[in-house]
Structure 1
Amino acid sequence: MQLISQSVFETDAACSIYLSLKPEIETQVTDRSRIEFKVDGSYLYLTVEADDLVSMRSTLNTWLRLIQVAYEVAVLTDST
């Protein structure tokens, strides 16, 4: 069964988040899921494809947390 999740994030820090996470995209951790991550202006697009529910959950948890941390760092550095 092929599972697909698509998420869109709107933030002024979209480019900073994308650039900070770009190295993570280039190294694939597992063969059970695939990531597409792109930026367009102030929008970030995250698409996750997975072969099973466990892999989908794990990949989403990882990437949503990475995006959250990158956002928090971008906001913190912009305010100083």
Structure 2
Amino acid sequence: MQLIAESVFEFDTACSIYRSLKPEIETAVTDRSRIELRVDGSHLYLIVEADDLVSMRSTLNTWLRLIQVSNEVSVLTDSK
């Protein structure tokens, strides 16, 4: 079973978040899921494809947390 989840985030710092996460995309952790991350202006697009529900949940948890932390750091550094 092939699962796909698409998420769109709107951040003023979308480009900074994308640049900080780009190295993570280049290294696949598992062959059970695939990630696509794009940026278009203030929108950050996350597309996750997974072979099973466990892998989808794990990958989404990881990437949502990475995006959250990157946004928090980006907001802190931009405010200084």
For normalisation by structure 1, the TM-score amounts to 0.99
1 CA distance for matches of 2:38 and 2:26? 13
Number of the residue aligned with 1:12: 12
Find runs of 4+ consecutive structure 1 residues off by over 6 angstroms.
none
Cα distance, 1:3 vs. partner? 0.3
2:71 pairs with 1:71: yes
CA shift for structure 1 position 67: 0.1
**C-alpha separation in 2, matches of 1:78 and 1:20:** 14
What's the secondary structure of 2:28's corresponding residue?
A: coil
The offset of 1:26, in angstroms, is 0.3
Structure 1, unaligned runs of 5 or more: none
Aligned residues with identical type, % of pairs? 82
Give unmatched runs, 5+ long, in structure 2: none
Q: Deviations over 1:13-32 (max 9, x none)?
A: 00000000000000000000
How far did 1:62 drift?
Answer: 0.2
The 5 Å alignment of 1:38-77 reads: 38-77=38-77
Q: Distance in 2 between matches of 1:37 and 1:77?
A: 22
Counterpart secondary structure, 2:7: strand
